[in-house]
Structure 1
């Protein structure tokens, strides 16, 4: 599978008529802490996107505030998922065309199997703007939450909101 690209994200957002977003270009960021330094002082919840694997090759994307830690047992209790752990880099490449550290909802553009269930933590759904790497870690996109949900719906994903 080809790697996801920033151009791919821009093209898709344009096709969907989503053009009210901001992008900050910066040196490659390998952690959320590093990325946050490049975008300090700008409005938008700092997110982290976890790509998880469960029993029987089930995949889950969990989007939450980057300051929070995920409790796998709580996630399993809330979702009914079984034997959940972080997905391996090979799974990430195979399912989303992304490398570790660049995971975001925009990787779903490459998920031709549509086999990923998307979850948002309740804490960030009411935030007006969310931040992500748009398939490359040299940019951070600030996208309005309703536009992000519009993108996910257009890509045939129906995110669930859970209280982590």
Structure 2
């Protein structure tokens, strides 16, 4: 039996329990990087784009990169340890593993990946930012968190995110 995905409130409690500072701004739902650009002046830091991909052996990866970065999907498998070229994961797996819908994909979804089905990749360029901005499990808000705290959060969920240069 699967448990219901955690909510934003569950996420915020988890962060609070870890002593991780975070700030969340609610806004109309945004489904694309282009739609979220209007928020840049209000929310400082690195803004993310997330690619949920899988290889032919059904190994799943979440690539979290800076919003304008380019990822070469034909070659990224050589960088992330995938068994083959990658393709996008299905929405059903996104919900099953990370507890989110397409358009709300976030590194913070690690809180829902209790079975450790997903390898999380944080792009090295993104991690140069002191503050990283992610959806708090839904696309109607943006949560700002320190880059080192994002790694601490992921480790507290049982994941060891890989910080790799995966962008062009």
TM-score normalised over the length of structure 2: 0.90
1:41 is displaced (CA, Å) by 4.3
CA distance in 2, matches of 1:112, 1:42: 30
Aligned to 2:15, which of 7, 13, 16? 13
Aligned to 1:157, which of 156, 159, 162? 159
CA distance in 2, matches of 1:39, 1:24: 12
Aligned pair 1:100/2:102, yes or no?
A: yes
CA distance in 2, matches of 1:135, 1:80: 26
Gaps of 5+ in 1: none
Cα distance change of structure 1 residues 42 and 98 upon mapping to structure 2, 3 Å threshold: closer
CA distance in 1, matches of 2:143, 2:103: 15
- Once the two structures are superposed, residues 76-111 of structure 1 have per-residue CA deviations (whole angstroms, 9 ceiling, x without a partner) of 121231131111111101111110010111111111
- Once the two structures are superposed, residues 92-147 of structure 1 have per-residue CA deviations (whole angstroms, 9 ceiling, x without a partner) of 01111110010111111111210211111111112100101100111101111011
Moved over 4 A (4+): none
Superposed CA RMSD? 1.5
What are the residue-to-residue correspondences of 1:34-53 with 2, within 5 Å?
Answer: 34-53=35-54
SS in 2 for 1:55: coil
Select between 126-135 and 78-87 the one with higher mean Cα deviation: 78-87
Question: Which protein is richer in helix relative to its size?
Answer: 1
Gaps of 5+ in 2: none
Q: How many residues align?
A: 163
Aligned pair 1:71/2:86, yes or no?
A: no
Asked whether the 8 Å contact 1:4–1:96 carries over to 2, the reply is no
CA distance in 1, matches of 2:162, 2:56: 19
TM-score normalised over the length of structure 1: 0.92
